[in-house]
Copies of this chain bind each other. A is one copy, B any other.
Amino acid sequence: MSKGNCLIGQSGGPTAVINASLCGIIQEAMRHPEIGDIYGARHGVLGILREDLVDLRQEDPEEIALLKSTPAAALGSIRRKLSSPEEDDREYERILAVFAAHDIHYFFYIGGNDSMDTVNKVSSYAASKGYPLHSIGVPKTVDNDLPGTDHCPGYGSVAKHIAAITMGVGLDMMAVHLTDPVIVMEVMGRYAGWMTASTALARRRPGDAPNLIYVPEAAWARERFLDDVRRTHDRWGWCYIAVSVGVKDESGDFLAAQRGRFAKDAFGHVQLGGAGSFLESLVREELGLKTRLVRMGPAERIAMHFASLTDRDEAYDLGVEAVRYALAGETAKMVSLRRVSDSPYRCEFALSDLAEVANAEKKIPREWLNEAGNDVTEDFMRYARPLIQGEVPTPIVDGLPRYARLREVEVGRKLEPWSEG
């Protein structure tokens, strides 16, 4: 393929390793003379629409290398689903205009379901207009809910972090259980329970935290839950409960919504959010047990100070592979991981169909949960354990990680400003 410039964007919720994929793309792109300028779009597709691009060749190579151990999304991220091109192709037209103005023929987009949808639609639109474009999606999501790949970069690190926190808070609970016997740990995950399930990796002995795991894949029932907690507390003297924010009861309502029916905030508005707060109240009121709530929210996903080396290396390698596939002539695909073996753990790189990835969510198979729907089985452990192995060496300055900070040298605009209107 002839020479062209390359554009990279990041999208959706950040992870500990989305910048490792960015680093892989940049460093691999620099190795290939077919690729001219290397641009980053600020805040994903919004940066493309706004022609808000930065020149990544102007960055210090040392800072680029540091991206490999920097959490969050150095180019800035965005949550935005493009409209369907059949309904309104203004956005697509603009994107192609920006690509053409900057001679962009390689496009790499790192993100989740919606981002893969974006890559898919942009690719089809470019093809329909005869614009030569090699676009590859690079998967990322802490939720691990992308189909078309064994697992998703970002998941291993969040799993490792949450498991380490569970291990520590579990020991804390055992130490103070005579006065504070119950922990409710609310974990992100609206549709799939992969993150919450990973707390199970923390167990080393019977009775260890977590004692109960509730995920969206199994319906929750109030009496069964209270019975689970009562029995666990009777047996061990404590109870550590891990719960996904997206857990639903048997009528299909979010626990958070149950709470919302009753709870009003300081302004008299219904309070949403808070499966954890709901269970905390329930245990306290119904069982009379003092309960402490852990709700880390975005702090779950940014812990490069205890991230998985396996995850980080896969995130980097997928970035590298994306460039290689694009240069080999592939387009409109997502790079993915195909597991060859659990032990020793080995994954191969592959390509997945974007349309398949964009429109589905991968949940925990029901048979990887126990019958009672309050724990995972060994199948899940076999799947998850290899993903948290190894620690990422991070440079430390003054007691804290030294993270990359880009200069973000802007690329001159060549088009009229974009108006959302």
Contacts of A401 in B (CB 8 A): 164, 167
* Residues of the B chain whose Cβ atoms lie less than 8 Å from the Cβ of A244: none
Instruction: Output the nearest chain B residue to A78 by Cβ-Cβ distance.
Output: B178
Q: Is the CB of B297 within 8 A of A293?
A: yes
A183 touches B298 (CB 8 A): yes
Q: Name which residue of chain B comes closest to A175, CB basis.
A: B73
Residues of B within 8 A of A400 (CB): 160, 163-164, 167, 201-202, 388
Instruction: Please name all residues of chain B whose beta carbon is closer than 8 Å to the beta carbon of A389 when the two chains form the complex.
Output: 398-399
**B297–A292 contact, CB under 8 A?**
yes
Number of copies: 2
Question: What's the least CB distance linking A75 to chain B, in Å?
Answer: 8
Contact between A71 and B168, CB atoms less than 8 A apart? yes
The A contact surface, by secondary structure, is: mixed
Q: Nearest residue in B to A15 (C-beta to C-beta)?
A: B172
Residues facing B in A31-81 (CB within 8 A) are 43, 46, 70-74, 76-79
| Residue in B46, B78, B297, B399 whose beta carbon sits within 8 Å of that of A160 in the complex | B399
Question: Are A262 and B265 within 8 A (Cβ)?
Answer: yes
A172 contact set on B, CB distance < 8 A:
14, 71-73, 298, 301-302
- The answer, yes or no, to whether A288 is at the interface (CB within 8 Å) is no
Residues of B within 8 A of A413 (CB): none
- Report if A232 contacts B (CB, 8 A): no
Stretch at the interface among A277-285, A331-339, A354-362: A277-285
Assess whether A298 is in contact with B292, with CB atoms less than 8 Å apart: yes
Q: Is A304 an interface residue (CB 8 A)?
A: yes
Kindly provide the distance from the CB of A107 to the nearest chain B CB, expressed in whole angstroms. Answer: 20
Separation of A401 and B305 alpha carbons in the complex (Å):
13
Q: Which of A262, A295, A399 has the most CB of B within 10 A?
A: A399
User: In the complex the two chains form, what is the Cα distance from A167 to B388 in whole Å?
Assistant: 22
Residue A328 interfacial (CB < 8 Å)? no
A174→B398 contact, CB < 8 A = no
Shortest Cβ distance from A42 into chain B, in angstroms?
Answer: 10
Would B308 and A299 count as touching, CB distance under 8 A? no
Is A219 on the interface with B (CB-CB < 8 A)? no
Interface assignment of A28: CB less than 8 Å from any CB of chain B:
no
With beta carbons under 8 angstroms apart, the residue of B178, B265, B266, B302 that contacts A43 is B178
A259 within 8 A of B: yes
A127 at the interface (CB under 8 A from B): no
Q: Is A352 an interface residue (CB 8 A)?
A: no
List residues 165-195 of chain A with CB under 8 A from any CB of chain B. Answer: 165, 167-169, 171-176, 178-179, 183, 185
User: Counting CB contacts under 8 A, is A306 at the interface?
Assistant: yes
Binary contact track A139-180/B, C-beta < 8 Å → 1, others 0: 000000000000000000000100111011101111110110
- B residues less than 8 Å from A391 (CB atoms): 396
Q: Is the CB of A175 within 8 A of B298?
A: no
Which residues does A use to contact B, with CB under 8 Å?
A: 10, 13-14, 16, 43, 46, 70-74, 76-79, 160, 163-165, 167-169, 171-176, 178-179, 183, 185, 201-202, 204-205, 258-259, 261-269, 271, 277-278, 281-282, 285, 292-299, 301-306, 308, 385, 388-391, 396, 398-401, 403, 405
Beyond the given pairs A72-B172, A262-B266, A265-B277, 16 more chain A to chain B contacts, judged by CB atoms under 8 angstroms and listed by A's residue number, are A16-B168, A160-B399, A168-B302, A168-B303, A168-B304, A169-B302, A172-B302, A201-B400, A205-B405, A262-B264, A262-B265, A263-B264, A295-B296, A388-B399, A389-B399, A390-B399
Question: Would you mind naming 7 contact pairs between A and B with Cβ atoms under 8 Å apart?
Answer: A14-B175, A164-B400, A169-B299, A205-B405, A263-B266, A266-B285, A305-B306
